[in-house]
Amino acid sequence: MAQDSIKPDAELDCVGLYCPMPIARTKEEIENVDIGRILKVEADDPASEEDIPRWAKRSGHELVKFERSGNVLTFWIRRKK
């Protein structure tokens, strides 16, 4: 699948939230996505650039795509378990 054609199954807007809220909200929301499906998370907390990929790896999920547009960070996370 081409990375630019990734269609999220759910979206989470964490813009304006700061650590630890983007990670806490992402942990909650991934539970509402079926295994194998993708959650798109947008955040503008600079700490999220390290925190979210680290959390995804540690918790067994897959970060399939990451983009930065200005100060907005966008993550596409595939639920693995």
What residues are labeled active site? 19
**Residue where the block lists tokens 């918790």:** 59
Look up residue 61 and give its DSSP letter: -
Contact (Cβ atoms closer than 8 angstroms) between residue 63 and residue 33? no
Contact (Cβ atoms closer than 8 angstroms) between residue 38 and residue 2? no
